[in-house]
Amino acid sequence: DFWQKFLRIYHKYSYANVLWIGIIYPLWFKSIESRVTVATGYHIMHTKIDEMIPFCEYFIVPYFMWFLYIFLGILYFLFTNKEDFYKVCLYLFIGMIFSLLICEIYPNGTDLRPPYISDKNIFQVMVAGLYRVDTPTNVFPSIHAYNSICMHVAIMKSKDIRRLRYGKAVVWGSFLLCLLICMATLVLKQHSILDVGGAILLSFIAYGFVYGYPSFTLWEYLEKKYPCLTKDEG
């Protein structure tokens, strides 16, 4: 019956429970957001290069596509490859937790947003809505950029995706979307170029722990200590 089928599926994909760790991020983020305000003060992330980057409301589309990109990417790895799923989750979690630690130690924000957004088109309305619900704090490093880079790396390194008939198209499409999302954070004035640069640097550091430094990978350590991470469950 339905309940038995559900239990079989749950048992088969029980390793998805690792996603519960992801709940830590929004709770912790909101906690920092409530404590870091204009009144308390924070470090402004702002460069001359940021002032040269024009505002463009149309980039709200790839900015919001980030949610679908990360969600569908995790879902794909969950149902196709246990090891790839664990790796992309580890990659994401390392950066997300480390970014929150940075925000705790070094409260930060931006002053790049335009003072006024008109409502001439739906894209401007969407940007105005984003500004209302998302404060310009806790921006370094950019999690939008970091997670996009992580997901693209996971897709690029996936043997399953490379074996697909249109695998190359998927990888290139992922690269284009990742690039557009990173650009969106800048032209929507959500982030400074410092934030995106920090995300790139953090992704390089975390990459080594997951996919390999010359003499050590965190993944190899976890794999040896917990063989169940790669052992298929019947």
Task: Tell me which of 164 and 217 has the higher pLDDT.
Answer: 164
Q: For the purposes of burial, counting CB atoms within 10 Å of the CB of 123, is it exposed (0-12), middle (13-18) or buried (19 or more)?
A: middle
Mean pLDDT over 17-38 rounds to 90
Q: Angle CA(178)–CA(184)–CA(186) in degrees, nearest 5?
A: 120
How many percent of the chain have pLDDT more than 70?
94
User: 43 pairs with which residues across the strands?
Assistant: 108
Beta strands 108-109 and 43-44: pairing type?
Answer: parallel
pLDDT tens digit sequence for 128-142: 999 999 999 999 999
Q: Is the dihedral angle over the CA atoms 204, 208, 210, 211 positive or is it negative?
A: positive
pLDDT of residue 79: 93
pLDDT of residue 1: 73
pTM: 0.87
- Give yes or no for residue 197 having a pLDDT over 60: yes
pLDDT tens digit sequence for 75-130: 999 999 999 999 999 999 999 999 999 999 999 999 999 988 888 899 999 999 99
Calculate helix-pair angle for 143-157, 167-187, nearest 10 degrees. 170
